[in-house]
Amino acid sequence: MFHKTISRYFILTITILMVISLAVAGENVFKVKRVIDGDTIELENGEKVRYIGIDTPETKHPSKPVEYYGKEAAEVNRSLVEGKEVRLEFDVQQRDKYGRLLAYVYVGDIFVNAWLVENGYAQILTIPPNVKYQDKFLELQKKAREEDRGLWRKDTTQVKEEQRPSEEGVVYITKTGSKYHSGNCRYLSKSKIPILLSDAIAKGYSPCSVCGGIPEKKTDLFKYKDETPPQKEDSATSDVTVYITRTGSKYHAFGCRYLSKSSIPISLKEAISKGYTPCSVCGGGTSKIKSESFKYKEDSYNFESDRVEVKGYYRKDGTYVKPHTRSKPRKK
């Protein structure tokens, strides 16, 4: 009798736990109204959901052309989730600055975020504090690259010449590392030295396994190897260079203290169009330092103004002083 009672209580407990787990899981189940692109969807309730931890090639960016493998990523995402019920799993931060939900998405037994990375439709994009599956995504991307899946495929006729990584593109290295990186790679938080891809390869650097070392097009934000920069638009803001960070919502002047961890050059016009607002400390470059008024050469900036450049150097105590500028000494 005693054993029968225990068995009944055990079965009842298991049943209750299953009901509770199903109810909790059901709270985050939604139907997908439409697929926006490879990593963003819209639910029937109007909420937009951005997949956590991954980034697919652009197809609908207002200022960028359709990127290689962007259409394929959008189509496969559509075939996976559009019109279907999906379960959303959240991490620490549930919304981005645009108000979109940030989620890991499941359809049936398929973990969509991971599936897109594993099959070469997406790269990893880790933005703290949402890092729950970072290691899993990194391992899947490594496998996709080794097996030349999707956007990692080396020999394909689909890639237009202008979209192929050019050896004249710009990548970034660090003072001590042996890898070259894309401009937004997390390993550039302490040092970020631009270099031509061809030079990086010639010096023995290899691509970063996290970001892939995808080069950027040379811009007129700096002069590299004494090349003449192209002419800018005759606009009140298009020729002014400011700097943003990977996670902030402000734009800054060169040398602002908030650029110690990341410093991404961008035109003032583009910064404003993307919703960035000026830094309250430095004013956001309102002194209008024009991009043509300085050049980058051998890890130092040269401002053709009343300032002089000071190259990086080591103090006697061993600390490193970054390259900077200072006012010219006044004549007595």
The pLDDT tens digits for 296-322 are 433 444 444 456 677 777 776 767 777
**Cβ neighbours of 20 (radius 10 Å):** 10
Distance CA 29, CA 103 (A): 12
Beta carbons of 221 and 196 less than 8 angstroms apart: no
| Of the ranges 106-115, 166-175, 205-214, 244-253, the best mean pLDDT one | 106-115
- Say which range, 92-96, 108-112, 201-205, has the weakest mean pLDDT: 201-205
- Say which range, 102-116, 129-143, 218-232, 245-259, has the weakest mean pLDDT: 218-232
120's CB contacts (< 8 A; 6+ apart) are: 69, 144, 145, 148, 149, 150, 151, 152, 153
As annotated, the active-site residues are 50, 58, 100
Query: Which tokens hold the place of 65?
Result: 């052309």
pTM above 0.85, yes or no: no
Query: Which tokens hold the place of 102?
Result: 């940030």
The ranges assigned to domains in the chain are 29-152, 165-207, 241-327
29-152 — its CATH code?
Answer: 2.40.50.90
Report cis status (omega within 30 of 0) of the bond before 129: yes
Q: What pLDDT is attached to residue 58? A: 87
Distance CA 47, CA 111 (A): 20
Q: What pLDDT is attached to residue 1? A: 53
Beta strands, E only, 176-327: 179-180, 193-196, 206-207, 241-244, 250-251, 264-267, 277-278, 294-297, 300-303, 307-310, 313-314, 320-321, 324-327
pLDDT, tens digit, 9 for 90 and up, residues 176-224:
888 888 888 888 888 888 888 777 777 778 777 777 777 776 553 444 4
pLDDT, tens digit, 9 for 90 and up, residues 277-302:
888 877 776 544 443 334 443 344 44
Q: Return the SS3 of 168.
A: coil
